[in-house]
Structure 1
Amino acid sequence: MFRRTFWFTAGAAAGVWATTKVNRKIKQLTPASLAAQAADKAIETGHKLKDFALDVREGMIRREAELGGALGLEAPADPELPVRPHFAVEPADPAGTPRTLPRTPHNRNEDH
């Protein structure tokens, strides 16, 4: 009698455990859950990329300071200063007309 009760209870517990596992896995595979998991991974990856970029920037500034010291350039790099943009068109002269690069009259890459 005791053996039957033990095995019945063990079977019922195994069934409940298996049912819960299957239901959890089914809930994990719903489209809404998969989208939430993908969004979480994307956010986590974004944070890792941001941390990597900050580490690279810190290393660049440190190395630039080392090179500046080795070359005798003692102007410290201020990370708060904006980077000067490079334009294809140079800034306007004092008269206000922009200076541009000379243009060729035809496309030199065409076969003539």
Structure 2
Amino acid sequence: MFRRTFWFSTGVAAGVWATTKVNRKLRQLTPESLAAGAANKALETGHRLKDRAVGFAHDVRDNMARREAELEEALGIEAGPELPAPRRLAAIENAPDATYPYNATNTTYPHNSYNRNEDH
């Protein structure tokens, strides 16, 4: 009697375990799950490549500064040339407000329409 009960409960437990494993694997193989997994892998790869590119850029800048210092020392130059301040684009700074087409800062409001379909 106990042997039959033991083997019955062992069979039930194995069946539940196998069913759970199969259902879990089937859920992983649905198109939505595969697409989400591929998207996650693509994002991880993109982040990894970005981190490597940033690290490479920092290494290049560091080595460039080190080499410039070596060349300055070899040539007897005390300080590098003074670079001018970065230029600011006046067109961007003085751009009219795009939310309202005619205001005090926007004096170039087109009074004539340039819509080709308007006359047809």
TM-score bin, normalised by smaller chain: 0.5 to 0.7
RMSD: 1.5
Cα distance, 1:4 vs structure 2: 1.1
Asked if 1:38 is matched to 2:69, the reply is no
1 or 2 for the larger relative contact order (CA 8 Å, sep ≥6)? 1
**CA offset at residue 60 of structure 1?**
0.3
Whole-angstrom distance in 2 between the partners of 1:22 and 1:50 = 38
How far apart in 2 are the matches of 1:4 and 1:58? 71
Identity over aligned pairs, percent: 58
State the Cα distance separating 1:17 from its structure 2 match: 0.5
| Structure richer in helix, relative to its length | 2
Question: Counterparts in 2 of 1:44-83, with a 5 A limit?
Answer: 44-72=44-72, 74-75=79-80
1:23 matched to which residue of 2? 23
Q: How far is the alpha carbon of 1:3 from its aligned partner?
A: 1.3
- Distance in 2 of aligned mates of 1:55 and 1:6: 61
Q: Structure 2 length as normaliser, TM-score? A: 0.60
- 1:52 maps to a residue whose letter is R
Q: CA deviation at 1:2?
A: 1.1
